[in-house]
Structure 1
Amino acid sequence: MIPRYTPSEIEPKWQEKWAADQLHSVTEDSSRPKWYALTMFPYTSGDLHIGHWYAMAPSDVHARFKRMQGYNVLHPMGFDAFGLPAENAAIKRGIHPFTWTMQNVENMRRQLKSIGACYDWSREVVTCLPEYYRWTQWLFLKLLDGGLAYRAKAPVNWCPNCQTVLANEQVIEGARCERCDTAVTREDREQWFFRITRYADELADHSRIEWPERIGIMQKNWIGRSDGVEISFGLDHSGVEEKEIRVFTTRADTVFGVTFLVLAPEHPLVAKLTTPERRADVEKYIAASRRQTEIERLSTEKEKTGTFIGAYVTNRLSGERIPLWIGDYVLLSYGTGAVMGVPAHDSRDFDFARRFGIPIRVVIAPPGWSGQELEEAYVEPGTMVNSSQFDGMPSERGKEAIADFMEKKGYGKRVVTYHLRDWLISRQRYWGAPIPVVYCDACGIVPVPESDLPVLLPADADFRPTGESPLLYCQPFVNTRCPRCNGPARRETDTMDTFMCSSWYFLRYASPGYDRGPFDAKALDYWLPVDQYTGGAEHAVMHLLYARFFIKAIRDLGLIDFGEPFTRLFNQGIIVAQKHKMSKSRGNVVNPDSYVSELGADTVRAYLMFIGPWEQGGEWDDRGINGMSRWLNRVWNLVLQGQETALPRVAPDQGVAKELRHRTHKTIKKVTEDLGKFRYNTMLAYLMEFSNYLGKVLPEESVDAQSWQEASDALMLLLAPTAPHLAEELWTRTGHTYSIHQQSLPKWDEDLAAEEQITFVIQINGKVRDKLTVPASIGEAEARELALSQPRVKAFLEGKQLTSVIYVPQKLVNLVVQ
């Protein structure tokens, strides 16, 4: 009698044995090709919902697949444990962030182990532990020493609810905090930055990595390279030392059409140039602009606003006086903090000029233009007019000609600018890695010696948000001695952006216990870079961009010899419930624990991969997962029934035996190809089709024992990456050597996998018009489509009406026409 399939007993048993046998632990092995398979590690939010499983389980399937292909696979797991959510949750609950975080780590570790993934838990990293952030601080010091970290006063995004600074990437649509959805404001603060802008061009180059095209486009757009000209406008203002204002433009061909110039409200020249009669209006406007975020100010949907400051500059090419305005859509941190207004050839400048009565001068003539006023801005190429010696020139050629002229005269120069800003890493919160510098009145900014790392977070700090770092009020932490002069000094009280921790965690996995540096160079040489990274596309311009910068930076510091962290990237889609993304506020979060207890982890894993293409996501449906459970039960019964059935040595029906071998090898080929390309839903569909066929031929006992054994073994081996517990149990029960996960994937024979070919006849009104060689498995719909697409058939059908199609399986299709 076939025993009942009981995942609740089978899965814990094998998980315990795999752990005891260290089945998933790996070491460097030069005899096998390596494969570093990595999933973005989770944030310690408390519980894993089914959306986390959707990221974790399918990536584990691919890692197991690569191992069965003969690779030495590193598939580690850890926890992104610093950051605002943990601190805010701890404040809400009245417990310490460390306590809250480590409780979550323990719970999430338990949940992750229940997945049955092949994680090497001996390599786990937790970013909030001193043994990890010691090296985060060490890497900060290396960047500081290499001139890639610096401190500067700058306007920053401030979340009044989270009470901390946000990087531009952390401000979402509507100028709101990505964490709490609070409206973000702007403030000036001394902050620490990384010089990511030095790597703008290299970051925009994806030629050496196999990443989704859309991620490359998103990163290139965020970097925002612009090639153009920096133009000097003359400034002659009493009492003002500066003699020019420089403006960047990509449209040098329109310089004769400039009728106003706009400065950022925070530009240092504004206070110097504003005339007394305009000062009150200007100061009122500046105050209003400071209440907006960069995102709000740069929005293309927002109407441009501004106010005249009473001063002028000179257009050196035309000799004209150009009025100076300030406008909140100009930012001091972008370009030069000044832009030129060309209303005839920029739509928003056109609206601005119309609103404030500023002249609109056409300098690029549209086709057929004869001097009339424009009804709207003309932004396409055309012929240059009202442009002195450049009149009559095509505007595209005029860009180069004017750039040449300005460089020759000293009026400007060709430059490249970027939308990308340097990475702001300072956070005014407790729960992060302390920045390892001190401030000494005698010595200035002094790095903490490497021998004194880590700079530990004080356990007794009052971490409630006040608008300044909680560490500021922890005197034992703040007050220290200067490492250079031994005089009194103050520690930096800001902590690092948690993206700093996640920009190098994948390096630590190579040698997590190493205590002479952040990583062992020999282990890193073997494992890195990551061969396959998986995670969400929402990280395109944050984690994925920061990690790429970080690797390039420490490469240039001589710490590593490669320039890309992740050779391949795959972005999974989003799993939804009740037509919506899962969220606690909607009450549609699916907790996997109950499904694992009732149906088993293998059922959950398989269902997640069957609901749709992994890159597209899908809808969670309890009816669907129950169907998957029934299929796995059928596989269980099928394999064990086959084990108990005494099949003959020679097949009673050679035709059926031949078909069985064909289907076996065809399935091996299709499943192997789909596993390699993350096509999990079709992979499972092939396995279901295969198991259905096996379930049909077994009761008939029409095949031989050897062919059945080959088919049954192939089914178990091909299912092993998806349903590792079930496959292991069946493998053992059918008398195989432990473990199935140390076996190779079955190989297919091309001849056996190939479809049998037949000669297929195409008739029109009963007369043979064509013959084709086609697979014997061809169906009616495919045969009809194939017949109608043949050139000879099309010629016979021209001018006639097709009234019916007669299909004779594996023989012919007859097209009846009038």
Structure 2
Amino acid sequence: MDEKYIPRTVEEKWQRIWEEMKTYKVTEDSAKSKYYLLEMFPYPSGRIHMGHVRNYSIGDVVARYKRLRGYNVLHPMGWDAFGMPAENAAIQHKSHPAHWTYENIAYMRGQLKKMGLSYDWDRELATCDLDYYQWEQRLFLQMYEKGLVYKKSSSVNWCPTCETVLANEQVEDGCCWRCDSEVVLKELEQWFFRITEYAEELLDNTWQLPGWPERVLVMQRNWIGKSFGCEIDFPVEGSLAKVTVFTTRQDTLYGATFMSLAPEHSQALELTTPENRAEVEAFIERVKKTDKARRTAEDFEKEGVFTGSYCINPVTNRRMPIYLANFVLLDYGTGAVMAVPTHDQRDFEFAAKYRLPLQVVIQPEGAVLDPGAMTAAYTEVGILTNSGPFDGLRSDEAKERIADYLEREGVGRKTVNYRLRDWGISRQRYWGNPIPVINCDICGVVPVPEKDLPVVLPMDATFTGEGGNPLAKVPSFVNVTCPQCGAAARRETDTMDTFVQSSWYFLRYCCPDFAAGPLDRARAEYWMPVDQYIGGIEHAVLHLLYARFFTKVLRDLGYVNVDEPFKNLLTQGMVIKDGAKMSKSKGNVVDPDALINRYGADTARLFSLFAAPPEKDLDWSDQGVEGSYRFLNRVWRLVYDTLPFISTAGAVKPDQLGDEAKVLRRTVHKTIRKVTDDIDERFHFNTAIASIMELVNAVYAFEPKNLPANAAVLKEAVESIVLLLSPFVPHVAEELWAALGHAGGVEQAGWPGFDAAAAVDEELLIVIQVNGKVRGKVTVPAGAAEAQVKESALADERVGSWLEGKQVRKVIYVPGKLLNIVVG
């Protein structure tokens, strides 16, 4: 081996060998236990960033470790390649989205290969490949046949400049994320997936995913938002119309004093009187430009406008003015809220602003609320008052009785509501998967016949930046013949939301070369579910929820036999520099290419894995990077210096070891045990690496004294260091393993096992506390009984000084770790 560690030389060599030997290519093997490891695939934006480096390094450690443990590991990579940014780039660079996308993929693929990631590149896919998106069209039509796809008019975020629908996440402070134009709400015909059909199963299964972080499961449960309550009908005064609300607080019905509607509500203008129309329309237009998330924020000012109409409370006959309110959303319940200002804080603030009446119907036990003196709504459980036949009941107990009463009277009904809404997948843009339907004036919506699939994106679209969907401006694509009646018809020009492609890519990885359908069931069933999924917390709701939904749909279509796609989930933290997430706008970006060119990929990987546990944010440190590089040089030097002495050493003979050699061997086997536990149980790569560093220090401190027995222990220690490091820093580990005289690579060696007997300490250091505070430490033989530990502690001079003149009341012993003496 060379005396000096030169990262580029080592890394280029092993990357070439891995590629030529197809080291990480994998096929199904029933004789082996499978392990499917997956990181969320990236958008091909042009360059990888440090978040990618960290995410993929975390996954690669697990993949390499599992291979060393004998698993058949699937570790694929691909590209989430459709989306609006490619169209924006095409406009900016006067190119084509396909050209921009594939150019970026080629560059980013090269960057990832430089990191030495153990991907099976033969399974690579891009969602913009016809080989991928054609099968998605087939799935769309099968879902359409099952009633899981439909089209309806819907209120959407619309950018008038880009002339496209925007997801809520693409609206920033009421403006388009791309062009800063004011976003408005617009009614459009949109395609939807009926995800609400699976709401109950999606919710129930969150209790069957023990390998997921609890906070992610809570976020999904809240997003699905199951609630039990009542729908109640409020007749409109002077009309046959009624306003229907959904409420979980029917116990407060007798205190409802006005009605609040979402400005988008279908009855908003219908209920508006002529003299109020101008004010109401202006209010609706203003609210349309307000971000929905902002409207429901606690600190957002509650505003509204009176429609001029009234409805009637069905149990009190109170005449209730009907308002439009900016904090009421159409997306929850019916978009109408019976306002009970004394028992709902938002209603209380609204009522105070517009001087609307207050009626207390729940009193705290042992107290009396005066509506004129209230400074906030009372929202706790209490005793019903002013509630007719229900007076005197506890409010939580009255809910069921009031619900039964409403059903008997025919003015309400018990119901279950979900916050979850069907998934709108229509996007008015070119660079996406075409929705495979034809619009005919005679036949209506006509699915594209299977023999005419796939619907291929035309390559002759033009990108002017003037707004609108470029796909709608390609006559050869749009103008078709209806497959049912033969009349002139128009092809659908909406394309699918990119979340659709990322909702099943992990299944296609199981069989990316399958040409007879979306999935080869046998191969998909061998690999699924994904054993470990890794990605950012920002995808905790939508992507993961959609992926779960899609998996259940494909199960019901007969493609797979799994209920859930991801057995375990790790949400890694962000990379922070100068107190903020790395971003170009903040000017705190570290270029991975520059880092790799200077220090090597192994150093970049080691630092990103050592600096923090995977689930925590990582604070960037140039000194930390330097430290990781120095450590690898130190390991290299250790192998180089010891190689002449250990190259001919035989196996360790425990009975021939001196005291120093026994201590080193104990350290070796304790380190193997700890690193194994840290990877297996917690993914605590930082503490695993720290223990390897301690072992390196121990080897440097060891004096071999030229004894053959010591050479054997030293060889075992050095080889263990290299194997333990191999999942973290694969290039340097392979080079050092070969230098130690081993052919076939580290994978052939397998993960080192530890000798449990050798890993047992002969002596233990016990921490001694007095009344919970550390007052000393004593060394005792391993396996010492509590009485012996107590005797040693009481004999210790320093500990004794804290016991002088005091009575020992209790002794608490944590075996092998701590003794706490309680004195009085």
1:493–1:648 Cα change, 3 Å:
closer
Residue equivalent to 2:528: 528
- Which aligned pairs between 1:390-789 and structure 2 lie closer than 5 A? 390-645=390-645, 654-676=658-680, 677-698=682-703, 700-701=705-706, 703-757=709-763, 774=780
- Tell whether the 8 Å contact from 2:645 to 2:711 is kept in structure 1 after alignment: no
Aligned length: 794
Give 2:285's match in structure 1, choosing from 271, 287, 305. Answer: 287
Deviation at 1:561, TM superposition (A): 1.5
Residue equivalent to 1:219: 220
SS of 1:645's partner is: helix
For 1:371 and 1:592, locate their aligned partners in 2 and report how far apart those are by CA, in whole Å.
63
For 2:354 and 2:800, locate their aligned partners in 1 and report how far apart those are by CA, in whole Å.
67
- Tell whether the 8 Å contact from 1:14 to 1:725 is kept in structure 2 after alignment: yes
- Which aligned pairs between 1:183-198 and structure 2 lie closer than 5 A? 183-198=182-197
Residue equivalent to 1:271: 269
Aligned residue type for 1:222:
W
* Alpha-carbon displacement from aligned partner over 1:214-255 (angstroms, at most 9, x marks no partner): 1111112222222111112223534x5x3x321111111110
Aligned residue type for 1:93:
H
Mean Cα deviation higher: 634-643 or 535-544: 634-643
Residue equivalent to 1:806: none
Residue equivalent to 1:311: 309
For 1:407 and 1:661, locate their aligned partners in 2 and report how far apart those are by CA, in whole Å.
77
- Tell whether the 8 Å contact from 2:90 to 2:463 is kept in structure 1 after alignment: no
SS of 2:696's partner is: helix
Q: Which consecutive unaligned segments of at least 5 residues does structure 2 have?
A: 809-815
Aligned residue type for 1:664:
V
For 2:767 and 2:383, locate their aligned partners in 1 and report how far apart those are by CA, in whole Å.
64
1:698–1:44 Cα change, 3 Å:
farther
- Tell whether the 8 Å contact from 2:182 to 2:289 is kept in structure 1 after alignment: no
Residue equivalent to 1:807: none
- Which aligned pairs between 1:98-497 and structure 2 lie closer than 5 A? 98-160=98-160, 162-171=162-171, 174-175=173-174, 177=176, 183-204=182-203, 205-209=205-209, 210-238=211-239, 240=240, 242=241, 244-370=242-368, 372-373=370-371, 374-375=373-374, 376-497=376-497
* Alpha-carbon displacement from aligned partner over 1:683-718 (angstroms, at most 9, x marks no partner): 111111001111121554465232222222211111
1:104–1:707 Cα change, 3 Å:
same
Deviation at 1:494, TM superposition (A): 1.1
SS of 2:733's partner is: helix
1:272–1:187 Cα change, 3 Å:
closer
TM-score, with structure 1 as normaliser: 0.91
- Tell whether the 8 Å contact from 1:163 to 1:465 is kept in structure 2 after alignment: no
Mean Cα deviation higher: 725-734 or 683-692: 725-734
- Tell whether the 8 Å contact from 2:219 to 2:541 is kept in structure 1 after alignment: yes
Mean Cα deviation higher: 378-387 or 265-274: 265-274
For 2:111 and 2:671, locate their aligned partners in 1 and report how far apart those are by CA, in whole Å.
33
1:264–1:40 Cα change, 3 Å:
same
Residue equivalent to 2:812: none
1:330–1:666 Cα change, 3 Å:
same
Deviation at 1:158, TM superposition (A): 2.1
- Which aligned pairs between 1:26-105 and structure 2 lie closer than 5 A? 26-105=26-105
SS of 2:185's partner is: strand
- Tell whether the 8 Å contact from 2:162 to 2:468 is kept in structure 1 after alignment: no
Residue equivalent to 1:805: none
- Tell whether the 8 Å contact from 2:531 to 2:567 is kept in structure 1 after alignment: yes
Aligned-CA RMSD value: 3.1
Deviation at 1:138, TM superposition (A): 1.5
1:738–1:129 Cα change, 3 Å:
same
Aligned residue type for 2:193:
F
- Tell whether the 8 Å contact from 1:75 to 1:120 is kept in structure 2 after alignment: yes
SS of 2:37's partner is: strand
1:795–1:133 Cα change, 3 Å:
same
- Tell whether the 8 Å contact from 1:146 to 1:557 is kept in structure 2 after alignment: no
- Tell whether the 8 Å contact from 1:167 to 1:425 is kept in structure 2 after alignment: no
- Tell whether the 8 Å contact from 2:161 to 2:466 is kept in structure 1 after alignment: no
Mean Cα deviation higher: 137-146 or 662-671: 137-146
* Alpha-carbon displacement from aligned partner over 1:354-407 (angstroms, at most 9, x marks no partner): 222221011101234346334232111111111111111111111121112112
1:361–1:596 Cα change, 3 Å:
same
SS of 1:605's partner is: helix
Aligned residue type for 2:712:
Q
Deviation at 1:277, TM superposition (A): 2.8
- Tell whether the 8 Å contact from 1:532 to 1:568 is kept in structure 2 after alignment: yes
Deviation at 1:183, TM superposition (A): 5.0
SS of 2:207's partner is: coil
For 1:696 and 1:396, locate their aligned partners in 2 and report how far apart those are by CA, in whole Å.
70
1:370–1:73 Cα change, 3 Å:
closer
1:265–1:361 Cα change, 3 Å:
same
For 1:638 and 1:528, locate their aligned partners in 2 and report how far apart those are by CA, in whole Å.
43
For 1:139 and 1:718, locate their aligned partners in 2 and report how far apart those are by CA, in whole Å.
45
1:640–1:285 Cα change, 3 Å:
same
- Tell whether the 8 Å contact from 1:718 to 1:745 is kept in structure 2 after alignment: yes
SS of 1:343's partner is: coil
For 1:181 and 1:644, locate their aligned partners in 2 and report how far apart those are by CA, in whole Å.
67
For 1:110 and 1:775, locate their aligned partners in 2 and report how far apart those are by CA, in whole Å.
56
SS of 1:227's partner is: strand
For 1:813 and 1:420, locate their aligned partners in 2 and report how far apart those are by CA, in whole Å.
54
Residue equivalent to 2:811: none
1:383–1:45 Cα change, 3 Å:
same
TM-score, with structure 2 as normaliser: 0.91
- Tell whether the 8 Å contact from 1:186 to 1:293 is kept in structure 2 after alignment: no
Mean Cα deviation higher: 193-202 or 659-668: 193-202
* Alpha-carbon displacement from aligned partner over 1:142-168 (angstroms, at most 9, x marks no partner): 221221111111110124565421233
For 2:640 and 2:356, locate their aligned partners in 1 and report how far apart those are by CA, in whole Å.
86
For 2:234 and 2:380, locate their aligned partners in 1 and report how far apart those are by CA, in whole Å.
25
For 1:275 and 1:762, locate their aligned partners in 2 and report how far apart those are by CA, in whole Å.
81
Q: % of aligned pairs identical? A: 50
For 2:793 and 2:486, locate their aligned partners in 1 and report how far apart those are by CA, in whole Å.
90
For 1:219 and 1:347, locate their aligned partners in 2 and report how far apart those are by CA, in whole Å.
25
SS of 2:531's partner is: strand
For 1:179 and 1:534, locate their aligned partners in 2 and report how far apart those are by CA, in whole Å.
29
For 1:546 and 1:637, locate their aligned partners in 2 and report how far apart those are by CA, in whole Å.
50
SS of 2:379's partner is: coil
1:648–1:537 Cα change, 3 Å:
closer
For 1:648 and 1:353, locate their aligned partners in 2 and report how far apart those are by CA, in whole Å.
86
For 1:65 and 1:181, locate their aligned partners in 2 and report how far apart those are by CA, in whole Å.
47
Residue equivalent to 2:813: none
Aligned residue type for 1:567:
K
Aligned residue type for 1:689:
E
1:774–1:570 Cα change, 3 Å:
farther
- Tell whether the 8 Å contact from 2:237 to 2:309 is kept in structure 1 after alignment: no
